[in-house]
């Protein structure tokens, strides 16, 4: 059953990228044909990579202007506009975080697509290298067997059949067939002349791709960590956390613009190749492969003849003719020359192995195998690879813009925190309703005052202590606030909770508490201190 032949068609995004303007260092237009060895073309790709540097410069300029304006205008903040402005800053940070999260999703997809494309390229290179290595080994092995093994057996048979002219004539004919096989095998392509190791190229490509994939993965994770840290920093309003966020945001901003420049340059250069890959490969292989051979493998059209078919047919016919001659000699000469049987059987074995090698060469030299590897490599690079680079460039652009907005939001949060601290510093310390003033007016010496509850309970447990009789001259008149407490009934319901040291007015004492206080002896005063003295 015949299979449909696949043809390569460049995707539309490669044409779009190929049409990007190419300029050298002097802003002169350069041809977009893929030619990495040309200096002007290399300069055009470097100029495209500098787009990231231009974007980074513009971002830093905008941030510097915003920071200057913020420092100049932060003194004019009024109370009415502070809350709406804080809400706007919060929403700006939230939107920037959502954009970064979306960009990270795009980046993960693009990184995976690019990795798949490069993997398909390296897999195809390994397969093509295996095919070319098999062709080279078969040609070298067949030529070696024919030149060394067959010639040695024919020289010994020439000595054995020296007395028979007809047998010698058969040997001369076989020698002619051997020369034909050697000539036609030498006409097949010699892979060693190309001096190109596709396996080594595939290894280098895989190593570079691994580090590229890992770098983008770390950048994506860094952006996610920045988003989480931003939410935590705005919630806690911690200065050291905001400083850390600013440092990592600046680092991620630089990496995002750098990745945008590198991704854009790589995507444009790859698209230049994908638009016309056959032309580049023909120019690169013209020194060791003819144009008809290159076109045969690049296009693999049924209308194109196999350039090796003639040589393979001659080899096959020559080997078949020698097989017939050897069969005749084995049948007619062995009864008269028994010593010739060993060499004749040796020649037969070499002919069988050489014929098998020619059959393998016919299969390997067919265009379908190498053309399939070529198409797979193009599909991987130009479809998955370039598409993934486009998504990675989109991620870098979105992340860079969102990080710039997030950096502006962090600066604004910093200024709002500074204005809040200044408001706390402007509060009157003598204000009785200021919690800070009450804390400052707190006397640590009075913090150890014993409550009257503990004092009365201790008096109850000390049965030996009795209040001494007091003279009328020693009675201290009660303070005015105690008399006021007596006026309101002297209810002791709220009298057992001391309020000293809490920034409140002096407590009112009940008559029983006042009597207990006045009955204290000198020993008890020394024990409890002067905390209860008026």
Choose among 159, 144, 49, 97: nearest CA to 407. 97
| Cα angle for residues 171, 172, 174 (degrees, 5° grid) | 65
Please name which of 119, 115, 205 lies closest in space to residue 391, comparing C-alpha atoms.
Answer: 115
Distance CA 153, CA 160 (A): 11
Report d(CA 239, CA 237) in Å as an integer: 6
Alpha helices in 452-521 (DSSP H): 452-461, 480-487, 511-518
Helices 340-364 and 151-160, packing angle to 10 deg: 150
**What are the residue ranges spanned by the domains of the chain?**
39-74+88-421
In the three-class reduction of DSSP (H, G, I as helix; E, B as strand; rest coil), residue 23 is classed as strand
Yes or no: say if 320 and 180 are a contact pair by the CB < 8 Å rule.
Answer: no
Give residue 111's pLDDT: 97
Please classify residue 118 by burial: count the beta carbons closer than 10 Å to its beta carbon, then call 0-12 exposed, 13-18 middle and 19+ buried: buried
Question: Cβ atoms within 10 A of the Cβ of 189, count?
Answer: 18
C-beta separation of 406 from 96 below 8 A: yes
Question: How far is Cα 18 from Cα 45, in angstroms, rounded to an integer?
Answer: 12
User: Rounded to whole angstroms, how far apart are CA atoms 198 and 377?
Assistant: 12
* Number of helices and strands in the chain (H, E): 18, 0
Using an 8 Å Cβ cutoff, are 379 and 340 in contact? no
Q: What does the buried/exposed string (b/e) look like for 75-87 if buried means 16 or more CB atoms within 10 Å of the residue's CB? A: eeeeeeeeeeeee
Query: H-type helices in 22-160, by residue range?
Result: 39-73, 79-144, 151-160
Quote the pLDDT of residue 497.
46
3-state secondary structure of 360: helix
SS3 at position 429: coil
Phi-psi domain of 447 (left: phi exceeds 0; alpha: psi -120 through 50; beta: other)? alpha
pLDDT by 10s per residue, the chain, length 534: 444 556 789 999 999 999 999 998 888 899 889 999 999 999 999 999 999 999 999 999 999 998 888 777 655 555 454 555 677 888 888 899 999 999 999 999 999 999 999 999 999 999 999 999 899 899 988 888 888 888 888 889 989 888 888 889 999 999 999 998 988 888 887 666 666 789 999 999 999 999 999 999 999 999 999 999 888 887 777 788 888 989 999 999 999 999 999 999 999 999 999 999 999 999 888 888 888 888 999 999 888 888 899 999 999 999 999 999 999 999 988 888 888 899 999 999 999 999 999 999 999 999 999 999 999 999 999 999 999 999 999 999 999 999 999 998 888 887 777 555 444 444 445 545 445 444 444 444 444 434 433 444 444 444 444 444 444 444 445 444 444 444 444 444 444 444 444 444 555 555 555 566 566 555 555 555 555 444
**What is the CB neighbour count within 10 angstroms for residue 62?**
13
DSSP string of 279-346? HHHHHHHTTTS-HHHHHHHHH--TTSPPTTHHHHHHHHHHHHHHHHHHHHHHHHTTTT-TTHHHHHHH
Residue corresponding to tokens 């804080």 = 86
CA distances from 292 to 50, 75, 188, 190, 451 (A): 41, 79, 13, 16, 111
Rounded Cα distance, 11 and 117, in Å: 14
Q: Which tokens is 209 given?
A: 């791709």
- Structure pTM? 0.73
What is the length of the chain? 534
Q: Give Cα separations from 414 to 225, 366, 408, 521 (angstroms).
A: 20, 71, 10, 62
Measure CA of the first residue to CA of the last residue in the chain; give whole Å.
116
Tell me the CB-side half-sphere exposure of residue 415, using CA atoms within 13 A: 21
């Amino acid at each position: 059953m015949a299979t449909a032949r696949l043809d390569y068609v460049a995707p539309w995004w490669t044409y779009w990228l190929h049409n990007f303007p190419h300029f050298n260092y002097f802003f002169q237009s350069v041809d977009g044909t893929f030619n990495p060895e040309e200096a002007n073309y290399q300069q055009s790709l470097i100029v495209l990579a500098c787009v990231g540097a231009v974007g980074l410069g513009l971002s830093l300029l905008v941030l510097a202007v915003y920071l200057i304006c913020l420092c100049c205008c932060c003194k004019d903040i009024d109370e009415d506009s502070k809350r709406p402005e804080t809400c706007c800053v919060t929403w700006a940070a939230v939107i920037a975080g959502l954009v970064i999260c979306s960009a990270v999703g795009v980046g993960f997809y693009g990184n995976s697509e690019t990795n798949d494309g490069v993997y398909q390229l390296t897999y195809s290179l390994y397969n093509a290298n295996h095919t070319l290595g098999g062709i080279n080994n078969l040609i070298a092995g067949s030529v070696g067997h024919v030149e060394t093994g067959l010639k040695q057996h024919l020289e010994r048979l020439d000595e054995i059949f020296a007395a028979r002219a007809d047998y010698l004539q058969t040997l001369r004919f076989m020698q002619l067939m051997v020369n034909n096989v050697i000539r036609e095998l030498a006409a097949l392509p010699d892979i060693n002349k190309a001096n190109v190791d596709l396996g080594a190229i595939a290894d280098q490509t895989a190593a570079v791709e691994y580090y590229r994939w890992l770098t983008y993965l770390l950048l994506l994770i860094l952006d996610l960590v920045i988003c989480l840290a931003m939410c935590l920093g705005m919630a806690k309003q911690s200065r050291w956390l905001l400083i850390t966020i600013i440092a990592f945001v600046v680092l991620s901003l630089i990496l995002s613009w750098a990745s945008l420049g590198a991704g854009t340059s790589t995507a444009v250069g790859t698209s230049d190749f994908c638009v016309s890959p056959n032309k580049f490969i023909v120019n690169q292989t013209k020194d060791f492969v003819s144009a008809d051979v290159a076109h045969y493998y690049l296009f693999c059209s049924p209308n194109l003849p196999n350039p090796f078919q003639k040589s393979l047919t001659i080899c096959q016919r020559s080997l078949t003719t020698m097989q017939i001659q050897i069969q005749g000699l084995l049948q007619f000469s062995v009864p008269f020359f028994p010593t010739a049987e060993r060499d004749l059987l040796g020649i037969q074995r070499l002919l069988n192995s050489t014929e098998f090698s020619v059959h393998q060469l016919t299969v390997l030299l067919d265009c379908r195998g190498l053309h399939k590897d070529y198409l797979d490599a193009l599909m991987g690079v130009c479809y998955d690879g370039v598409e993934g680079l486009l998504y990675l460039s989109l991620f870098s652009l979105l992340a860079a813009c969102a990080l710039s907005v997030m950096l502006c939001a962090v600066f604004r949060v910093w200024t709002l925190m500074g204005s809040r601290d200044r408001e706390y510093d402007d509060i009157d310390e003598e204000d009785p309703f200021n919690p800070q003033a009450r804390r400052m007016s707190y006397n640590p010496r009075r913090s150890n005052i014993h409550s009257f509850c503990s004092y009365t309970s201790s008096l109850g447990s000390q049965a030996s202590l009795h209040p001494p009789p007091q003279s009328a001259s020693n009675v201290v008149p009660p303070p005015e606030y105690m008399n006021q407490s007596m006026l309101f009934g002297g209810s002791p319901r709220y009298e057992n909770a001391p309020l000293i040291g809490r920034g409140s007015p002096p407590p009112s004492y009940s008559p029983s508490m006042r009597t207990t206080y006045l009955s204290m002896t000198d020993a008890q005063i020394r024990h409890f201190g002067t905390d209860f003295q008026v």
